[in-house]
Amino acid sequence: MSASAQAQKDYEILHKKSRYSRLLSGITALLDWDQETYMPVAASDIRAEQLKVLAGLIHKSKTSTAFAKALSKLIDLKTGKIKNKDLTTPQKAAVEVWRKDYLKEKCLPAAFVEEFAKTTSQSVVAWRTAKAQDTFHTFSPYLEKLIYMNRKKADLLGYEEHPYDALLDLYEPGATTKEVGIIFQSLQKSVTDLLKKIKSVKQIDDSFLFGKFDHHKQLEFAHVLMKEIGYDSSKGRLDISTHPFSSASHPTDSRITTRIHPTSVLSNILVVLHECGHALYEMGLPEEQYGSPLGESISLGLHESQSRWWETRIGLSRPFWDHFLPLLKKTFPQQLDKISIDHFHRAINKVEPSLIRVEADEVTYSLHVILRFELEKALIEGSLSVHEIPEAWNAKMQKLLELTPENNREGCLQDIHWSMGAFGYFPTYTLGNLYASHLFASFEKEHNDWQKRVAKGELLFIKEWLNKNVHHYGRQYNSKELLKHVTKKDFNADVFNSYLHNKYKEIYRIK
């Protein structure tokens, strides 16, 4: 066998082993999806056990001697030196990622991984009840355990400066607390400045966006949107859940959920575009690479760049509504018939500090994330206790957004993430916005007529651009490498900042 053929054979063996654990994590994705959509309430205990078993099996498979052996044929596990030069460039990148993932996974004992999975499954259920009944104290014991376990996880994974680094790295490989802190600081300043300017001019009236909007019709409209932007409904579906999400079992099984807001017509639309953005990423991954890093999304930040792309860059744009407003008016003639496209476009872009992150406008959104980042950092380093969260939350809310929630449902109980044991996740939301801006600049350069085309209802080329420039690479690049590869520029927060300032000066007619 030639060296090259041997390399391909070894690579195939490794891929097959890796594919096995990916199949199991796809099953986990289905169980999670079911837990949030259709699972009978009394089944939560057994579901937690099922998830624990799966987590154990996945961990076992990812850290098995057989896997390590297959991997070490292609790369030196200690030094990271590629052993076989006959691999292709993407394959070399994949092997490096496999190694990093393996070393990370190896840090965590099986019992810890299983216990973590079981605890989070139970905690999600406890959170849902606590949120419904506004009883932070019924959730706090779970939260204490989860923070304890996250601290332990950080210790197990290791870190140089801050334990939070280890957690961040799980969701956004390479990101550090320090770097994120610097970006967030400049962002906070920029956003606060912009917010001040916006507050100084006349507020936009968006009252027509609120009222009674038939749920069934809202869902019908969502299905049209999904189809037109390129969501393939033979490979996914739309359901309802408390906290909307997208579920990534496989490129042929990428489901999304939404929730219907009791009064807002916009909420479901933006949620669906957002979750579709995630799902299109998953659907756009190369199927033949399923189970290898080349068939995986890069990071949560990059994932979020895709969802925010569709939600904000497309879904809040004028041409998008040039095309869709007539249909929305036809769906809800009574409520929207008299609204001009200009008024509609300004109204959906209204900026106003509010309590709920997922309903925040583009400008204030980052402040919600900064709040969570700061609290998480404090919780993980131990400078904040769980029982102090409600007070700390409200104080930060007042400082950043000049608002105080009336209850914890609208405060520290609003998000599902902590109950999922996900600390270090929130920052990726804002990073996603920044990434999206970078990518969008390149898209605009390549398609300087995008606005015209979108206004005419031509939408599929957007997905195709993302397929080609982002999705199909899998994890051949990390976030910053991909941005550099696509945009030829280094990553920084300025692109996003100036986009926000330019856009909202126009929306608010600020001179």
DSSP letter at 203 equals P
CB 254 to a second copy: min, Å: 8
How far apart are CB 42 and a second copy at their closest, in Å? Answer: 4
For 136, what's the count of Cα atoms within 13 Å in the CB-facing half-sphere? 17
| Site for a second copy, rule CB under 8 A | 20, 23-24, 26-27, 30-31, 34, 38-43, 45-47, 49-50, 53-54, 57, 232-237, 239, 249-250, 252-253, 255, 290
DSSP per-residue codes, 326-350: HHHHHHSHHHHTT--HHHHHHHHT-
C-beta of 52 vs 480, nearer to a second copy: 52
Four-residue CA torsion sign, 442, 444, 448, 453: positive
CB 390 within 8 A of CB 375: no
Find the shortest distance in angstroms from Cβ 115 to a second copy: 15
In the complex, the smallest distance separating the C-beta of residue 478 from a second copy, rounded to whole angstroms, is 27
Residues 70, 74, 76, 79, CA torsion sign: negative
- Rounded (5°) CA angle 75-9-54: 70
- Nearer to a second copy by Cβ, of 216 and 488: the residue is 216
**Closest approach of Cβ 474 to a second copy, in Å?**
17
Pick the closer one to a second copy by CB: 122 or 140: 122
CB-nearer residue toward a second copy: 35 or 414: 35
**Beta carbon of residue 26, minimum distance to a second copy (angstroms, whole number):** 6
Pairing of strands 253-258, 246-250: antiparallel
Cβ-based neighbours of 465, under 8 Å, separated by 6 or more: 443, 446, 447
**Selection from 378, 367, 408 nearest residue 391 by Cα:** 408
Cβ proximity to a second copy: between 1 and 42 the closer is: 42
The token pair at 495 is: 């692109």
Torsion angle of C-alpha atoms 14, 15, 19, 25, degrees rounded to 10: 80
Q: Closer CB to a second copy, residue 244 or residue 405? A: 244
Residue 362 annotated in active site: no
Cα(436)–Cα(408) distance, integer angstroms: 31
The Cα 68–Cα 76 span in angstroms is 10
The CA distance from 168 to 150, in Å, is 11
Q: Which residues pair with 264 in a beta bridge?
A: 210
Report, in Å, the least distance between residue 242 CB and a second copy: 17
- Closer residue to a second copy, CB minimum distance, 1 or 41: 41
Active-site residue among 172, 275, 311, 376? 275
Tokens of residue 257, six digits: 């959920």
Number of other residues whose CB lies within 10 A of the CB of residue 268: 22
| Positive/negative CA dihedral, 425, 426, 431, 435 | positive
Active site residues: 275
